[in-house]
Structure formats: structure tokens, C-alpha cells
């Protein structure tokens, strides 16, 4: 177990930096926050994420009905395993300085995720064709740490369409892609970004070859999220046999790695 963080987890923001960060986040639905974090915090996340992947990773290869059958092909460490086996990540999730910074950017209070199976998710893209296909999140905010990323040419780039909304019964993903500009981001090893997950349609570009891209996702809810009910069984990260999931393991083994 690595040492705990000795100082603050993140930097203190002045009012003008906060205003600009909040405005950029509101406009694009995403904000790189790498420079706002203590490098010691980033190192701790990297060590813990790699340890958890070594000990608890599970492979997923499926398509999800609630996102028009876009693909999920990667290894994961589900939320409960992260919470149970990393005190450091659990403490960071509740860190007052980190939350204050994120709330200043978001412009509202961040609440702990009401679903224990969605607080955390570690994913590792590792094989040619691996992708986290187009999707939204159930809750408003995610802080994504990127401990490891391949060179830009390999893929795994994040693509976003901000200010959209998720109708699980009729997602219309291709309509959104056709009707809106898509912004593409490269995040290198050690980067982190805040994402407005419920209204930013996003995906990773499939790998063109075997490589490694690791992320840790921390999810928080806005007050409005706490008033909603979540009934659809599409929690593929928690259970590969979720009702909305269709296995594509056979396709993957035969090299059919299209989107
Ligand atoms: Fe996502």
C-alpha cells in the first residue's frame, strides 16, 4: 500500500481561474484538470489503479441495447471491488479539497453516487479493437484519471458531443453524431479530466493495435440525480449478463472488431 498523500490533493483556485474553468466546462462538457491536481495524488492513483487491475480485473466484450448496441470491449475492475480493496481511492473520493475544487468548476454541489456499483470504475483497453462505445452516464459528474495512455496514433482518443441527453428507450446515437460536431481529445499518461457525463455523449476510438489505456472513473451525482429512479438493467460493468447487454465475445475472437 503506497503512502497516503502528505499535502493537499489539489491546488487552490483563485476566483478568475475558477470563472474561466467553470465557463469552459459549461461550454464543452469536459475540462482537463491535470494541472489543478497535486502530482503526488496522480502518482497514488496510478499505483492503486495498477494494483487493483492486477488483482481484480474482469474482461468485458458486449454491446448495450440502451446505447443503440455500441460496443464495450475492455477489462474492468467493478466499483465495489475498488471500494473494498483501496482505502486510498475511497479516501480521495471523499477528500474535501478535491470536492471543493470540482464543485467550484461544476457550479453546484457534488453528492456521493447513490449507487454503490457506479461510484468507481477502472477500465483497461488492451487489445486491438478495444473501445468504450458511444454512451452517456447515469449521473452528472465523473472525474477521470488517466494513469496510462498509448501514443495518439494507436487510438483510445475521447470523442464528445456536449449538451445532449440520453433516452434509454430510443438513444438515437447516430442521429446525434450526424447532427452535431464531434470534439476529439487526446489525454496522455498522468492526465485527468472532469466530464459532465449525463449530457455529454462520448466514446473512445477503437485501438488499431494491442496497447494499454487505463482510466479510473470517480462518479458523483447532482441534487437532481438523487430525485430520479434508475430501473434499466444495463450495468454491464457490474454484471456482464445485464439484461441490456449482448455478448460479442465470439465476434471479438474472430477479429470482428467493427464499431
Ligand atoms: Fe463514460
Residue 181: CATH number of its domain: 2.60.120.620
Average pLDDT, stretch 177-182? Answer: 97
Separation between Cα atoms, residue 254 and residue 239, nearest integer Å = 23
- CA 137 – ligand 1 centroid, Å: 6
* pLDDT digit string, tens, across residues 38-84: 999 999 999 999 999 999 999 999 998 889 899 999 999 999 999 99
Q: What is the pLDDT of residue 259?
A: 64
| Structural contact between residues 25 and 106, judged by C-beta atoms closer than 8 angstroms | yes
How many Cβ atoms sit within 10 Å of the Cβ of residue 203?
A: 22
- CA 61 – ligand 1 centroid, Å: 16
- CA 203 – ligand 1 centroid, Å: 7
Among 12-21, 70-79, 236-245, name the one with the lowest average pLDDT. 236-245
Q: Is residue 249 part of a domain?
A: no
Q: Is residue 104 part of a domain?
A: yes
Q: What is the pLDDT of residue 187?
A: 98
- CA 129 – ligand 1 centroid, Å: 17
- CA 6 – ligand 1 centroid, Å: 30
| Structural contact between residues 88 and 4, judged by C-beta atoms closer than 8 angstroms | yes
Q: Is residue 42 part of a domain?
A: yes
Residue for grid cell 461550454: 27
Q: Is residue 206 part of a domain?
A: yes
Q: How many domains does the chain have?
A: 1
- CA 122 – ligand 1 centroid, Å: 11
Going by C-alpha positions, the residue among 177, 236, 217 that lies closest to residue 201 is: 177
Q: Which residues fall within 8 angstroms of residue 5, CB to CB, at 6 or more apart?
A: 38, 40, 41, 44, 92
Q: Which helix (H) or strand (E) holds 136?
A: none
- CA 28 – ligand 1 centroid, Å: 15
Q: Structural domain of residue 116, as residue ranges?
A: 15-225
- CA 198 – ligand 1 centroid, Å: 9
Cell of 136: 452517456
Q: What is the pLDDT of residue 253?
A: 56
Amino acid at each position: 500500500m503506497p503512502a497516503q498523500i502528505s499535502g493537499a490533493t489539489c491546488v487552490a483556485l483563485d476566483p478568475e481561474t475558477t470563472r474561466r474553468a467553470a465557463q469552459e466546462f459549461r461550454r464543452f462538457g469536459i475540462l482537463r484538470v491535470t494541472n489543478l491536481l497535486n502530482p503526488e495524488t496522480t502518482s497514488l492513483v496510478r499505483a492503486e489503479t495498477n494494483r487493483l487491475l492486477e488483482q481484480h480485473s474482469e474482461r468485458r466484450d458486449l454491446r448495450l441495447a440502451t446505447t443503440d448496441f455500441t460496443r464495450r470491449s475492455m477489462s474492468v475492475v467493478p466499483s465495489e471491488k475498488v471500494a473494498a480493496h483501496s482505502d486510498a481511492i475511497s479516501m480521495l473520493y471523499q477528500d474535501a479539497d478535491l470536492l471543493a475544487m470540482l464543485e467550484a468548476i461544476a457550479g453546484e454541489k457534488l453528492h456521493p453516487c447513490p449507487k454503490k456499483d457506479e461510484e468507481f470504475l477502472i477500465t483497461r483497453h488492451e487489445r486491438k479493437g478495444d473501445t468504450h462505445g458511444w454512451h452517456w452516464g447515469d449521473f452528472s459528474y465523473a472525474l477521470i484519471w488517466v494513469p496510462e495512455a498509448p501514443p495518439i496514433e494507436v487510438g483510445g482518443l475521447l470523442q464528445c458531443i456536449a449538451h445532449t441527453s440520453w433516452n434509454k428507450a430510443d438513444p438515437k446515437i447516430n442521429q446525434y453524431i450526424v447532427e452535431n460536431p464531434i470534439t476529439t481529445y487526446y489525454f496522455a499518461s498522468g492526465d485527468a479530466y472532469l466530464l459532465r457525463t449525463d449530457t455529454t455523449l462520448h466514446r473512445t476510438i477503437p485501438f488499431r493495435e494491442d496497447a494499454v489505456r487505463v482510466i479510473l472513473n470517480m462518479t458523483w451525482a447532482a441534487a437532481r440525480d438523487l430525485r430520479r429512479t434508475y430501473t434499466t438493467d444495463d450495468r454491464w460493468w457490474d454484471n456482464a449478463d445485464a439484461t441490456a447487454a449482448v455478448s460479442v465475445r465470439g465476434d471479438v475472437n474472430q477479429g470482428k472488431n467493427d464499431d
